[in-house]
């Protein structure tokens, strides 16, 4: 039987309460939301904390999906299942439903949260790749209600490391809305619900048939989820075509940094990065046109 | 620390350690050993119980997190001596071999039918995709869930028919009464 090392359990009743607990307990405390990443790590003694602050009661405050003309705002405590089942989110960014269908399994998706996924900062994590693809902004709140907004590049400092400091909490993700958008996500995994061998997200913005902008985000091929600006530069102003997608795939393959491990060789992962980039770009363009 | 939760409609209060997992609270503290404990890493799904009506993997939920909430285990599936249609389905269609994954499978299946009374085979397979049957008995598990769905639909149709005929009878009675008055 695997159990975490001893810790004190605290329950936060509001965002401000959670921040005041973090302020008091500092680096010896960690927030726990769904817990499906943190608790297995604590059982394996890969992580130990003196205090766990349960923020599940904050779902009422931070569990929402709000669409506006300029951006979609998602509360950090929104659960995977809510993201999968949201019609407004699927209409704006179908990439979310694509990704959610391949994240863990339905029972785990009942508990896990968007904020928890991003704060875990696993390089293979799907929603981080989605948020990188969509150029998401992360809203971090600290003591006294002070908020700062950072990009995904700034948010993920390294594997399992984020810009969220002691005494701060990720409260919201903001996704910019621009016209003519299509998006898609694809993942290769060893078995249902597993971490990605490689996964790719694509978003394109069309105007009059031409690509105004495009973004590709990859997971499991480097220390963080990876946005590839060179693909955006190569696609801007072009008419979508198979040869263009192939070119983007080639850039993805040489721009990422996979390692050989039990999930596959680095060469195989580069091949997947190219192929999944092509597939998701193709699908994203189809969706932008429909 | 002290935790109070409702398990199968009974409120329980116990003194526990913060690190105690819900699966161990149910099995070792309350003695509800119907919930099984398998892989310990939220992969196999034998430990599935409901937390506020939603299936969760209880090896990855702290008992403290369930404080103030409703928990339902396989012991709370039957209504007294009457088995739930899901349990009947597992009996009728041989939905179990060794029985180890069965409690979790049944809790997930019950929750599925509550949301989707007529699930396709694909939808059933998707619902239990986070749960492992090492006897490779998925075909009969899927069949058991379909059996329960059909049984519940037939029972509901019968109830509706009875209600309809009762209503028709009442209308006829009312008509006769009205005629008599006229």
Q: Looking at the 3D structure of chain A, how many domains does it have?
A: 3
In terms of domains, do A150 and A185 share one? no
Q: Which residues in chain B are closer than 8 Å to A40, comparing Cβ atoms?
A: 41-42, 60
B64: contact with A, CB 8 A cutoff: yes
CA nearest to A192 within chain B: B129
CB B73 within 8 A of CB B49: yes
Q: How far is it, in rounded angstroms, from Cα B71 to Cα A54?
A: 18
In terms of domains, do A74 and A49 share one? no
Contact B45 A56 (CB under 8 A): no
Q: Among residues A143, A176, A209, which one ends one of the domains?
A: A176
- Residue A103 belongs to a domain: yes
- Phi, psi angles (nearest 5°) of residue A117: -60, -45
Residue with tokens 């059982």: A43
Q: How far is it, in rounded angstroms, from Cα A149 to Cα A129?
A: 18
Strand ranges (E), chain A: 8-11, 29-32, 51-54, 65-67, 71-75, 137-141, 147-151, 156-158, 161-162, 169-176, 181-189, 196-207, 210-219, 226-227
Distance of CA A54 to the CA centre of its chain: 21
Q: Which residues are paired to B22 by β-bridges? A: none
Contact A107 B61 (CB under 8 A): no
- Residue A1 belongs to a domain: no
CATH superfamily of B1-76: Beta-grasp domain (3.10.20.30)
CB B73 within 8 A of CB B26: yes
Contact A105 B130 (CB under 8 A): yes
Q: How far is it, in rounded angstroms, from Cα B72 to Cα A60?
A: 22
Q: How far is it, in rounded angstroms, from Cα A218 to Cα A119?
A: 17
Q: How far is it, in rounded angstroms, from Cα A183 to Cα A196?
A: 19
A52: contact with B, CB 8 A cutoff: yes
Domain boundaries, chain B: 1-76, 80-176
CATH number at residue A148: 3.30.465.10
Which of B40, B42, B129 faces A36 most closely, judged by CB atoms?
B42
Q: Which pLDDT tens digits describe chain A residue by residue (290 residues)?
A: 789 999 999 999 999 999 999 999 988 999 999 999 999 999 999 999 999 999 999 999 999 999 999 999 999 999 999 999 999 999 999 999 999 999 999 999 999 999 999 999 999 999 999 999 999 999 999 999 999 999 999 999 999 999 999 999 999 999 999 999 999 999 999 987 889 999 999 999 999 999 999 999 999 998 877 789 999 999 999 999 999 999 999 999 999 999 999 999 999 999 999 999 999 999 999 999 98
CB B62 within 8 A of CB A39: yes
Q: What secondary structure letter does DSSP report for A127?
A: H
Domain that holds residue A228: 181-289
Percent of chain B with pLDDT over 70: 91
pLDDT digits (tens, 9 = 90+) for B25-53: 999 999 999 999 999 888 999 999 999 99
Nearest to A187 by CA among A127, A136, A244: A127
Six-digit token pair at A168? 């701060």
Q: Which residues in chain A are closer than 8 Å to B24, comparing Cβ atoms?
A: 1, 3
What residues contact residue B80 under an 8 Å CB cut-off, 6+ apart? none
In terms of domains, do A65 and A142 share one? yes
B44: contact with A, CB 8 A cutoff: no
Contact A6 B67 (CB under 8 A): no
Q: How far is it, in rounded angstroms, from Cα B67 to Cα B110?
A: 23
- Residue A204 belongs to a domain: yes
In terms of domains, do A83 and A169 share one? yes
A59: contact with B, CB 8 A cutoff: no
Contact A104 B130 (CB under 8 A): yes
Q: Which residues in chain A are closer than 8 Å to B19, comparing Cβ atoms?
A: 3-7, 9
How many helices (H) does chain B have, and how many strands (E)?
A: 5, 5
pLDDT: is B180 or A79 the higher one? A79
What residues contact residue B27 under an 8 Å CB cut-off, 6+ apart? B33, B35, B37
Q: What's the confidence (pLDDT) of residue B164?
A: 74
CATH number at residue A21: 3.30.43.10
CA nearest to B132 within chain A: A192
Q: Which residues are paired to B10 by β-bridges? A: B7
- Residue A68 belongs to a domain: yes
- Residue A219 belongs to a domain: yes
Give the right CATH number for B80-176 from 3.40.190.10, 2.30.110.10, 3.20.20.70, 1.10.150.120.
1.10.150.120
């Amino acid at each position: 039987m695997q159990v975490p090392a001893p810790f004190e359990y605290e329950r936060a009743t509001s965002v401000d309460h959670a921040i005041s607990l973090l302020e008091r307990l500092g680096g010896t405390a960690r927030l726990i939301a769904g817990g499906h990443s943190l608790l297995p790590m604590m059982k394996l003694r890969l992580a130990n904390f003196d205090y766990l602050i349960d923020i599940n009661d904050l779902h009422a405050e931070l569990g929402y999906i709000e669409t506006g003309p300029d951006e979609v705002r998602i509360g950090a405590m929104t659960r995977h299942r809510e993201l999968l089942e949201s019609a407004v989110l699927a209409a704006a960014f179908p990439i979310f439903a694509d990704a959610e269908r391949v994240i863990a399994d339905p029972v785990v998706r009942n508990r896990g949260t968007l904020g928890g996924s991003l704060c875990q900062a696993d390089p293979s994590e799907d929603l981080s790749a989605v948020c990188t693809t969509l150029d998401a902004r992360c809203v971090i709140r600290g003591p006294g209600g002070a908020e700062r907004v950072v990009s995904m590049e700034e948010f993920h400092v390294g594997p399992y490391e984020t810009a969220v400091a002691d005494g701060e909490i990720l409260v919201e993700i903001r996704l910019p809305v621009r016209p003519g958008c299509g998006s898609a996500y694809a993942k290769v995994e060893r078995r249902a619900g597993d971490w990605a061998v490689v996964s790719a997200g694509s978003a394109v913005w069309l105007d009059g048939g031409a690509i105004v902008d495009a973004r590709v985000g990859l997971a499991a091929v480097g220390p963080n989820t990876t946005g590839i600006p060179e693909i955006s530069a190569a696609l801007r102003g072009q008419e979508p075509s198979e040869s263009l997608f192939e070119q983007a795939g080639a850039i993805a393959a040489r721009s990422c940094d996979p390692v050989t491990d039990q999930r596959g060789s680095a060469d195989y992962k580069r091949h997947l990065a190219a192929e999944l980039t092509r597939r998701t770009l193709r699908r994203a363009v189809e969706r932008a046109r429909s | 620390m002290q935790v109070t939760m409702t398990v199968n409609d009974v409120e329980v209060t116990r003194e526990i350690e913060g690190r105690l997992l819900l699966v161990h609270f149910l099995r070792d503290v309350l003695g509800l050993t119907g919930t099984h404990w398998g892989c310990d890493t939220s992969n196999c799904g034998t430990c599935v119980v409901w937390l506020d009506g939603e299936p969760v993997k209880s090896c990855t939920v702290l008992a403290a997190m369930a404080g103030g909430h409703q928990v339902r285990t396989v012991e709370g599936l039957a209504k007294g001596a009457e088995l739930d249609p899901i349990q009947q389905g597992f009996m009728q269609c041989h939905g179990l071999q060794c029985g180890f994954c069965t409690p979790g499978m049944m809790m997930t299946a019950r929750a599925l039918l509550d949301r989707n009374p007529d699930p396709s085979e694909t939808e059933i397979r998707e619902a239990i995709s986070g749960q492992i049957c090492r006897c490779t008995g998925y075909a009969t598990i899927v069949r058991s869930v379909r059996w329960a769905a059909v049984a519940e639909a037939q029972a509901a149709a019968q109830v509706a028919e009875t209600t309809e005929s009762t209503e028709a009878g009442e209308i006829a009675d009312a008509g006769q009464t009205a005629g008599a008055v006229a």
